[in-house]
Amino acid sequence: MYDKSQLMRGTLEGAILKILSANETYGYEILVQLQACGFGEIKEGTIYPLLIRLEKKGIIKGEFKASPLGPDRKYYKLTEEGVRYMESFEESWSAIREAMDRLWKKGGNV
């Protein structure tokens, strides 16, 4: 059976950025939104390393804020560089999706 984990890793970054483009939020809420969109197999242990990597690259910024339900939560938002990065990802994703759609519609024959 095909191992879709590699494919997921390549798309999760863009999916996280798209979620953060709508509003700032925290890691668990990002996970919930991804699962609601069909990324059902995603675990917290997958999301947090991605958030750390994106933050180190300056694509997102994290800030601790008070939580009404317990300890402070780290909320993430896109930086200006992150907006450009997301737009670039979206262009690349669209081109790949269109190419795959063409290939699958032609039954693998070019």
CATH code for position 75: 1.10.10.10
Q: What is the pLDDT of residue 40?
A: 80
CA distances from 12 to 7, 28, 80, 108, 110 (A): 9, 14, 20, 26, 29
What does the alpha-carbon distance between residue 13 and residue 7 come to, in Å, rounded to a whole number?
A: 11
Residue 15 inside a domain? The answer is: yes
CB neighbour class for 54 (10 Å; exposed up to 12, middle 13-18, buried from 19): buried
Residue 22 inside a domain? The answer is: yes
Residue 110 inside a domain? The answer is: no
Q: For the chain, how many structural domains are there in total?
A: 1
pLDDT tens, position by position, for the chain (110 residues)?
A: 777 777 787 799 999 999 999 999 999 999 999 999 998 878 889 899 999 999 999 999 999 999 888 899 999 999 999 999 999 999 999 999 999 999 999 887 76
Full domain range(s) for residue 33: 5-105
Look up the pTM and report it.
0.89
Helix H, strand E, coil C: the string for 56-91 is: HCCCEEEEEEEECCEEEEEEEEECHHHHHHHHHHHH
Task: Check if the beta carbon of residue 83 is closer than 8 Å to that of residue 20.
Answer: no
